[in-house]
Structure 1
Amino acid sequence: MKKQLITASLLLSAATSFGGGYQLNLQGVRQMAMGGTGTAWPWDASTIFYNPGGVARLKGIQMYGSMAFIMPSTAYGNRENSGVTSSNERTASQTFTPFNFYIGGRIAEDSRFGLGLGIYTPFGAGMKWDDNWLGKYIVQSVDLQTVFFQPTVSYRASEWLSVGAGFVFAAGSVDFRQAMPIHGNLGADIDDGQAHLHGNATGVGFNIGAQMKVHDDLQFGLTYRSQVNMDVEGGSAKFTVPTSLKDSFPSTKFDARMPLPGVVSAGVGWRPLEHLTLQLDLNYTGWNSYDSLRFDFAQTTTSLHNVRAPRHYRNTLTTRVGLSYRISSVVSIMGGAAYDPTPVTNGFVSPDLPDADRVVLTCGLTVKPVRGLTIMAAFEGSNGVKRNGSYDFGGFSGVYKSTAAVPAIGLYYNF
C-alpha cells in the first residue's frame, strides 16, 4: 500500500501545478499596474486577452510585447505540537519570465471590424525545495509552462456596443520531481529513490467578450474565457529505485487530463476627471471543475496503479481595483490592488501548491517618448496570508507563508 501512495502523491502534485497559485494575471503591463483590471477599457492591443470585444475600438493597428519577472518565495514550518522534528524550510530563489505578444486593431480607419492575434502565458511558474527537505516525499521541484495562441475577430455593432471572440489553442509542459521512501544500501536520506514526471499537454478553448461604451467617460465590459482541458498523451514517468524494485516501478508512459478553469469577468471604467480613470473588475473562476484527477499508465504493476483521486476545489471571486492618472501627454502613472481568495480547500494544502488567500498591490507608469510608441513598466507585490494546512492524502501538514515580487516591462507601437 505504501508503494501505491508514493505514485499517487506524485501525480496529484503534478496536476495541482495547474491550480490557483499558478493562474497569472499579467497579460498587460498597464492592466497589471492597475490591479489586473482591464475588462471594460480597451487601452491597447492586450485587450485581445482582457476583452476581445474591445479590439474593434482600437485606433489603428498596434504591435505589443511585454515580459514579467516572477520571483516567488514560500516558507514552511511544522505545525505546533505536530510530533515531528522541528523544521523550517524555504524554497530556492527562482525567476520565471512569462511573456505576451499581441498584434491587432481595426482593419481600416472607418471599419467596424477588428482583427488580432494574441500569444500569452496565463498559467506558469514553479517551485524548488531542497532535495532533502522534510516534505521531499511529496515534492522536490515542479515547473510549469503554458502558452496560449488566440486569433481574434471583433465587430463594432453600434456606437455603444462592440463584441469579439477568439479561438484558443494551448500548449504546455510540466516537470515534477519527488523523492521516494525506497533506498539502497546507504540508507534513507542518502540514496532515496526518486520519481520524475514529465509531460507535454495541449488543449483548446475560446475567449468571448462584449464592450459597452455608454459615454466617452463611462465604459463596461463582460467576458468569458472558457475552460481549457490540457491533455497529456504519452507523458514520461521514470523511477530511480534499487534494482530489486525496478519491476515494481518500471519507466512507462501515462495519459492524463488537467482542466484549466473558465473565468467570467465583469468590469467598469469611469473617468470622473479629464486626467483620471478608475476601474473595477470582478473575476469569477470556476475551480469546481477540478473535482478529481485521473492518470492512466501504459504499464501497471502490483505497486504502480492508475490514479483516481478527488480534488475538492471551490469557485472563487477575485476583486480588482485600479486607477490611471495622466500627468502630461507623455507620462501617466497607475496603481491598483486585488484580493484573490484561494480555491484550495482544507485537507488539500500540499507543499507543491500551498496556496492561500492573497492581497496584491500594484503600481506602474507609461511614457510616450515619440509619436506612436509607448513604453510601460509595472510592479506587483503579492502577499499570501499565513496558512496552517494539511495534505490529508499524503499525511503531511504545516504552516506556509508565500510572497512574490513581479516587475514587468513592455512596449507597444501604434501604426
Structure 2
Amino acid sequence: MRNRLVLACALATVAGTASLATAAGLKVNEQGAKAMAMGNAFTAQADDPSALFYNPAGIAFLKGGQFSLGTVNIFVPSTEFSGTTAISGDSPSAGSAPVFEKAKQDLFIAPNLYATYSFESMPLSVGLAINAIYPLAKSWDDSSAFRNQIMNIAVKPINFQPTVAYRFDSLNLAVAGGLDVTRALVTMQTMPYSAGPAGTNTAYELGLMGLDGTATDVGWNAGLKWQALPSLSFGAAYRSEIDLKIKGNGNFLATTPAGFSIIGMTTGATSPYSRTRAASTVSTTITLPDALSLGVAWKPTNKLTLEFDAERTGWSSFKTLEFKFDSPQFSNFNNKPKALDWKDVWCYKAGGQYALTENIDLRAGYMYDKNPIPDSTLGPLLPDADRHSFSIGQGFHNDRYSVDIAYMWTHFVNRTVNNQNMTDLLGENGTFKSDVHLFGGSVTVKF
C-alpha cells in the first residue's frame, strides 16, 4: 500500500520534470517548422532563428534582426493497451483478467518564439528563445485498469534561453553560449490501491491522490558551426543537465478503511461512507538530461541541401526518484526511493531541402529514435517505444519574411512488456500501441 501511493506520485512528477512529445522519453525536438520538415536534421544548417534551439552558433551567420513566431501542434490519438494489469479483474483474481484500454486523445500546443540580432559593426550576435521542450499530457479513463497508476497528468513547461554568439570571419567559424531557465508546472491525479496478503491476488482501493508542483532552475547551452566550404558545413551543440528542485502540495482523499489507516486514522471512527482529506507539502529533485548533437550539411547542387545529424540524450540521469513529505500523516510515504533506470540513447536524423523556385523550398526528413525506458519500469504514464518519424514541409521566403509549414507522422514500434508485480500492484503484461501526428508552422520577419 505504501509503495503504491509513493509510486503514483513519483511517476507523475517524473513526467512533469523531465519537464513530452516525439523524441524518446519526454523531449520535444520539433522546435522549428523548417527543421521539423527535415526530420529535425538542422544542427549544421542552423540558418534561421530556431537555430537558438538546434545550434545557437548558427545565429552568428544571420543578417540584421530577425523575429520568428511558431507553434507545433501534437495530436496524439488514443494509445492502446491489450493485456492484464495489477488490478484488472475482481478480487481474489486481480491481475488475471485481460483488458483493452484506450487513453484519451491528447493535443499539445507548444509555441515557440525566437528573436535574434547581429551587429553590423562587429561579428557578434545575440538572441532569445522562449519555448516548451518537455511538455506532457496523458489521460486514461477514471475507471481504467491503470487508474491506480495514473488517471491524468498535465505538464506545462516553459524555457527561456538568452544567447550570445561570436563569429570568426577568417575561419568561417562561430561559437555560442547561453542559459536555459526552465519553469515547470505539474498537476496529476491517481487512485492508489493496496495489495492484500501475499498469494491472495486481492487489491483494495484507498482513495484519490492529487499532486501539483512547480520548479524553476537554470542550465546552460553551447554551440559551434563551421562553414568549411560554401557547400559543406558542420555543427555541434550541447545542452547541460538541469537539476529541477520541485516543491508542491499533495492531497489525499481517503475513501475506504484502508485509506484511513494509511494516514493514521482508525477505521473504527468511520462509517462505510466516510471521507477524509489529508494534505502535505512535498519536494523532490529531478535531473533533466544533457544532450549532444552533431551534424553535417552538404549542398551537392545549388538547389539541393542534405543533412545528417546524430544526437545523444543522457536519460541515465533518471536513476531513482525519492519524495519527502512534510506532514506526519504522510510519514508512511517517506524513505521509499523508486528505481527508474532510464538509459542514454542516440537519435539519428536525415533530411533535405530542394529549392523548387527562388522563393519556394520543398523539404522532407526521417528520424529514428531509441527509447530510454527499460521493460522493467515501463508503464501507462509514458508507454514509450522505439520511434520512426517521417516528415514533409514547404517554405516560402523573400527578403523580408518567410513562412514555413511542416507535417510529421511518428510511429511507435509495438511495445510488449511483462513487468506486472502483484506485491506492489505495479506494471502490466501486455502490448502498447501508439502513433502521433504533428503539424508545425512559423512566420519569420527580417528587419
TM-score interval, normalised by the smaller of the two chains: over 0.9
Structure 1's 320 and 394: CA in aligned 2 closer, same or farther, altered over 3 A? Answer: farther
Measure how far apart 1:6 and its partner are.
Answer: 2.4
CA distance in 2, matches of 1:189, 1:129: 19
Q: Who is 2:426 aligned against?
A: 395
Establish whether residue 77 from structure 1 lines up as the match of residue 82 from structure 2. Answer: yes
Residue pairs, 1:10-409, within 5 angstroms: 10-17=8-15, 18-19=17-18, 20-73=24-77, 74-78=79-83, 84-108=96-120, 110-158=121-169, 159-181=171-193, 193-233=207-247, 235-242=248-255, 245-246=259-260, 248-249=262-263, 250-300=278-328, 301=330, 303-368=332-397, 371-391=399-419, 392=421, 394-397=425-428, 398-409=430-441
Report which stretch shifted further, 4-13 or 333-342. Answer: 4-13
Measure how far apart 1:259 and its partner are.
Answer: 1.5
CA distance in 2, matches of 1:202, 1:390: 37
CA distance in 2, matches of 1:98, 1:382: 17
SS at match of 1:111: coil
Q: Who is 2:198 aligned against?
A: none
Structure 1's 79 and 192: CA in aligned 2 closer, same or farther, altered over 3 A? Answer: closer
Measure how far apart 1:191 and its partner are.
Answer: 8.4
SS at match of 2:375: coil
SS at match of 2:209: strand
SS at match of 2:59: helix
8 Å contact from structure 2 (residues 179, 221) kept in 1: yes
Measure how far apart 1:260 and its partner are.
Answer: 1.2
CA distance in 2, matches of 1:143, 1:287: 21
CA distance in 1, matches of 2:222, 2:333: 42
Q: Deviations over 1:349-401 (max 9, x none)?
A: 11101111010111111113x54111111011111111111455643212101
Counterpart amino acid of 1:152? Answer: T
CA distance in 2, matches of 1:246, 1:236: 19
Measure how far apart 1:246 and its partner are.
Answer: 5.0
Counterpart amino acid of 2:351? Answer: G
CA distance in 2, matches of 1:197, 1:365: 42
Structure 1's 351 and 335: CA in aligned 2 closer, same or farther, altered over 3 A? Answer: same
CA distance in 2, matches of 1:342, 1:243: 39
Q: Deviations over 1:263-317 (max 9, x none)?
A: 0110001010111100111000111111111211112445332431222111101
Q: Deviations over 1:159-202 (max 9, x none)?
A: 421100011110011111111237xxxxx999861111110111
Counterpart amino acid of 2:358? Answer: S
Counterpart amino acid of 1:310? Answer: A
Counterpart amino acid of 2:412? Answer: G
SS at match of 1:63: strand
SS at match of 2:287: strand
Measure how far apart 1:346 and its partner are.
Answer: 1.6
Measure how far apart 1:107 and its partner are.
Answer: 1.9
Q: Who is 1:185 aligned against?
A: none
CA distance in 2, matches of 1:394, 1:314: 24
Q: Who is 2:7 aligned against?
A: 9
Measure how far apart 1:42 and its partner are.
Answer: 2.3
Q: Deviations over 1:107-163 (max 9, x none)?
A: 22x521000001111110211000010111111111112111011000002342110
Q: Over the residues paired in the alignment, what is the CA RMSD in angstroms?
A: 2.1
SS at match of 2:208: strand
Q: TM-score, normalised by structure 1?
A: 0.92
Structure 1 unaligned spans of 5+ = 183-187
Structure 1's 43 and 378: CA in aligned 2 closer, same or farther, altered over 3 A? Answer: same
Measure how far apart 1:79 and its partner are.
Answer: 5.5
CA distance in 2, matches of 1:273, 1:219: 14
CA distance in 1, matches of 2:204, 2:322: 32
Structure 2 unaligned spans of 5+ = 19-23, 89-94, 195-201, 264-277
CA distance in 2, matches of 1:191, 1:243: 7
8 Å contact from structure 1 (residues 63, 413) kept in 2: yes
CA distance in 2, matches of 1:42, 1:171: 26
Counterpart amino acid of 1:139? Answer: I
CA distance in 2, matches of 1:315, 1:324: 30
CA distance in 2, matches of 1:232, 1:210: 32
Considering only CA atoms, is the larger Rg found in Structure 1 or Structure 2? 2
CA distance in 2, matches of 1:354, 1:67: 25
Measure how far apart 1:241 and its partner are.
Answer: 1.0
CA distance in 2, matches of 1:327, 1:394: 57
CA distance in 2, matches of 1:15, 1:180: 15
Report which stretch shifted further, 383-392 or 302-311. Answer: 302-311
